[in-house]
């Protein structure tokens, strides 16, 4: 049984539910004058792939494709319906009314990240996110999740930008679609930002600000000397070709890695790995999942009920 908020094609929803039908002849009996329908079986078909605006004031009369009034109670149906769908979504804080707008080429996967407390905590340790902080502070039950629009991968960013410009969400750190100020963007996000920025030209004012930010004391690297490793990497990036020896590459990689000691409880064999990536590959797990366990666990922990893993501070 699932709780879903149905939405009309046009006009008020009161006293109109009996006229709402889908291609499979599903109909709603005994309409009531409330937006939230009594629990129904999961066989609903949503008729629109876009958000509906009327009366020339879209920001006030915006009607999402579907509304989940309680992100905690509606978690299972949210993840099920959003699987492999592309679209624009909005988080609404029911305590203060603040909102966040985002897009994803896989809404189901994106929402699973939102529902992963460990993931949110790790991201907040690395960068700033108003929506992550708000969810952890207020809890899922105090948030409503709206699907504003289903769309294609090609126009996801442009549609997200449209809603950001229209609704001016408080939790978005950046007014540019596909970006999260103060954090490292994923490959998916970088591609979306690149597509969105094509054909866009900076104003003279913006060019002057960029120039000023990279000069003298305005540059965070002003007065600092690059290490030999950094100089080599900069030179490599500029030349566009590799000139580092294999031994140098290996040394640089090991210096950046987190060393792990892994004990195979089945064979009692102990192995030491110079990085999380190598350890993850040896145990048959993903690097991101192992990295989260390492960063959020004090001491040793068990992986796959077979391997005892422990971080090594100094690898001689």
* pLDDT tens sequence across 84-105: 999 999 999 999 999 999 999 9
Q: Report all structural domains of the chain as residue ranges with CATH numbers, in order of start.
A: 48-197 (3.40.1440.10), 253-311 (1.10.10)
Residue 151 confidence class, pLDDT cut points 50, 70, 90: very high
Lowest mean pLDDT segment, chosen from 11-20, 183-192, 238-247, 253-262? 11-20
Which tens digit of pLDDT belongs to each residue from 205-218?
777 766 666 555 55
Cβ contacts of 48-51, under 8 Å, gap ≥ 24: 48/7, 48/9, 49/149, 49/150, 49/151, 50/149, 50/150, 50/151, 51/88, 51/148, 51/149, 51/163
Most confident region among 32-46, 106-120, 237-251 by mean pLDDT: 106-120
What local confidence, expressed as pLDDT, does residue 285 receive? Answer: 92
Find the DSSP H helices in 83-186.
107-114, 117-126, 130-138, 156-167
Lowest mean pLDDT segment, chosen from 84-88, 104-108, 203-207, 222-226? 222-226
What local confidence, expressed as pLDDT, does residue 257 receive? Answer: 73
**In 3-state terms, what secondary structure has residue 191?**
helix
pLDDT beyond 60 at 232: yes
Residues 18 and 26: their CA atoms lie apart, in Å, by 10
Q: What are phi and psi of 309, to 5 degrees?
A: -110, 135
Answer whether 0.75 is exceeded by the pTM: no
One DSSP character per residue, 220-264 reads TTTT----HHHHHHHHHHHHTS----HHHHHHHHHHHS--EEEEE
Residue 225 confidence class, pLDDT cut points 50, 70, 90: confident
pLDDT beyond 90 at 201: no
pLDDT beyond 90 at 126: no
What local confidence, expressed as pLDDT, does residue 196 receive? Answer: 65
pLDDT beyond 70 at 198: no
What local confidence, expressed as pLDDT, does residue 43 receive? Answer: 35
What local confidence, expressed as pLDDT, does residue 154 receive? Answer: 92
């Amino acid at each position: 049984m699932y709780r879903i908020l149905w939405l009309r094609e046009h006009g008020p929803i009161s006293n109109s539910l009996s006229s709402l039908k889908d291609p499979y002849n599903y109909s709603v009996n005994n309409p009531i004058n409330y937006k939230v329908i009594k629990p129904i079986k999961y066989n609903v078909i949503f008729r629109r792939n876009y958000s509906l605006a009327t009366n020339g004031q879209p920001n006030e009369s915006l009607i999402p494709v579907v509304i989940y009034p309680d992100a905690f109670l509606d978690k299972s149906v949210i993840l099920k319906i959003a699987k492999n769908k592309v679209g624009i979504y909005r988080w609404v804080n029911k305590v203060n009314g603040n909102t966040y707008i985002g897009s994803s080429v896989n809404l189901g996967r994106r929402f699973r990240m939102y529902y992963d407390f460990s993931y949110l905590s790790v991201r907040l340790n690395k960068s700033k996110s108003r929506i992550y902080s708000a969810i952890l502070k207020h809890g899922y039950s105090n948030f409503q999740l709206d699907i504003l629009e289903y769309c294609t991968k090609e126009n996801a960013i442009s549609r997200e930008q449209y809603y950001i410009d229209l609704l001016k969400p408080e939790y978005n750190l950046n007014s540019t679609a596909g970006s999260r100020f103060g954090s490292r963007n994923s490959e998916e996000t970088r591609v979306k930002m690149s597509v969105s920025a094509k054909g866009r030209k900076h104003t003279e004012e913006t060019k002057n600000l960029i120039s000023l930010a990279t000069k003298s004391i305005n540059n965070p690297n002003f007065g600092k000397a690059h290490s030999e490793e950094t100089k080599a990497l900069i030179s490599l990036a500029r030349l566009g070709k590799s000139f580092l020896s294999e031994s140098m590459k290996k040394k640089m990689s090991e210096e950046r890695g987190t060393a792990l000691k892994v004990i195979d409880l089945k064979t009692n064999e102990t192995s030491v790995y110079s990085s999380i990536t190598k350890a993850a590959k040896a145990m048959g797990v993903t690097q991101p999942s192992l990295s989260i366990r390492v960063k959020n666990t004090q001491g040793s922990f068990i992986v796959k009920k077979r391997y005892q893993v422990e971080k090594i501070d100094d690898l001689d």
